[in-house]
Amino acid sequence: MLDLLLPQRCVVCGSGGSQLCTECREELQRIEPPLCARCGAPTAWPVERCRECAGRRLGFASARGAVGYDAAARRLVHAWKERGLRRLAAEAAQVVAERLPPPGVDALTFVPADRGRRLERGHNPAERLALELAAIWELPCLQLLERTRGGRQRGSSATERRSVRGAFRATDGAPRKVAVIDDVYTTGATAAAAATALRAAGARRVEAVAFARALRRG
């Protein structure tokens, strides 16, 4: 509610008017083909697997991010998640829908927040994004995943991978084709753990969709 009353400033550049100005929205880093068909990393030519994902067990069929997780996207995600500027979830969903095709699934679900974070923030950013996308893509949004333990950590890649392995459980009878929504794709370990749980619960194909994706250099 509060963000409706405060003067609006762009969370990326600080100019007055709206929480995300037209220019900053337009300049959010594009992730353009060719891409790795599996993990969505930009590559020199189209590949089925790339340096980033080869040799890894990833439960999802493909992962896509709408924008690169650069400094601007980082500011936006921070304002949306930590400052609770909820209208930004709708902005983020619009950007996703403009830049990515609908994932071709029966339903959307989302990466659950751990309890502590949810209580602290009063909302789960991934859930809000999923709800906004479900409305745009006219798909149901189902709460299918829960955390089995612990919290999410995004330190080093190794830390993230360790901390999310087996971290989720999914409700039995998951739809055959489902997309798991998250705000940021960093190493893919979270999306992979969520996908593995969904497949154990009956999903045949899981797509991962994120607002922002970390891009490696070089």
Cα angle 137-138-141, degrees, rounded to a multiple of 5: 95
With contact defined as beta carbons under 8 Å apart, do 149 and 168 qualify? no
Would you put residue 83 in left (φ > 0), alpha (ψ -120 to 50) or beta?
Answer: alpha
Q: Scanning the structure block, which residue is given the tokens 């829960």?
A: 146
Nearest distance in Å: CB 127, Zn ion: 26
Rounded least distance, CB 214 to Zn ion, Å? 13
Nearest to Zn ion of 52, 183 (CB atom)? 52
Smallest gap from residue 40 Cβ to Zn ion (A): 7
Nearer Cβ to Zn ion, position 39 or 178? Answer: 39
Q: Which positions lie near Zn ion, rule CB under 5 A?
A: 10, 12-13, 21, 24, 36, 38-39, 41, 50, 52-53
Pairing between β-strand 168-170 and β-strand 145-147 as defined by DSSP bridges: antiparallel
By beta-carbon proximity to Zn ion, the closer residue of 21 and 203 is: 21
Positive or negative, the CA dihedral 39, 66, 144, 82 is positive
CB of 126 to Zn ion, least distance (A): 22
Q: Which is nearer to Zn ion, 173 or 216 (CB)?
A: 216
Nearer to Zn ion, 24 or 193 (CB): 24
CB of 56 to Zn ion, least distance (A): 9
Q: Which of 181, 207, 190, 206 is nearest to 150 (CA)?
A: 190
